[in-house]
Amino acid sequence: MHNTLDKAKLLDLLRAEYAFAERTLALLTPEQMKIGGVCGPWSVKDLIAHLTAWERRLLMWLENARKGIPLVIPQIGYTWAQIDQLNQQTALEESVKLLPQLINEARRTRELVLAQIYLLPEADLFEETPFSALFHHKLLDAIASNTYEHYAEHMEQIRAWMNKRTSG
């Protein structure tokens, strides 16, 4: 799919995935969003926090890259081999937040992601440039794995969990 994207299509894809997420969440009550077991022990509430945390990391990486600050990916103190620990630590930190706060943070973060991608030169998104080289792989891959691909993965899990609850 990446080969057929340009910035306008990428932004459309993100908006579509975000809209699908909103439609999915609208099918659930706040009480249902707090029930564990959607993705391992996590609830929909936990997944909202998880998705938002990864988008915030993407925004931080973009900001640091713009400033010429070397990127520490995935996060200071963690390597990709420790991704499960990072996700668990994030889930623990975010668990104290109320559901409405998490939903509002998710929406604001998605808007920031869209705005930052809109501001990026097309070449940085799709070509090897000094800016994109800071990401150690294609910038588009970092965007995809922390936005629309990540949302698709977890919305599928949420939908499957919802179907299992209504059919069983």
The confidence score (pLDDT) of residue 144 equals: 96
Q: Which of 19, 12, 29, 5 is closest to 151 using CA atoms?
A: 19
Cβ proximity of 25 and 32 under 8 Å: no
CATH classification at residue 74: 1.20.120.450
The string of pLDDT tens digits covering residues 67-87 is 988 888 999 999 999 999 999
Residue 132 lies in a domain: yes
Does a structural domain hold residue 119? Answer: yes
Domain that holds residue 13: 2-24+38-162
Rounded (to 5) percent helix, strand, coil in the chain: 75, 0, 25
Domain membership flag for residue 50: yes
Q: What is the pLDDT of residues 87-134, one digit of tens each?
A: 999 999 999 999 999 999 999 999 999 999 999 999 999 998 888 888
The number of distinct structural domains making up the chain is: 1
In a domain, 85, yes or no: yes
Domain presence at residue 88: yes
Residue 30, domain member (yes or no): no
- From 147, 110, 153, select the one nearest 2 (Cα to Cα): 147
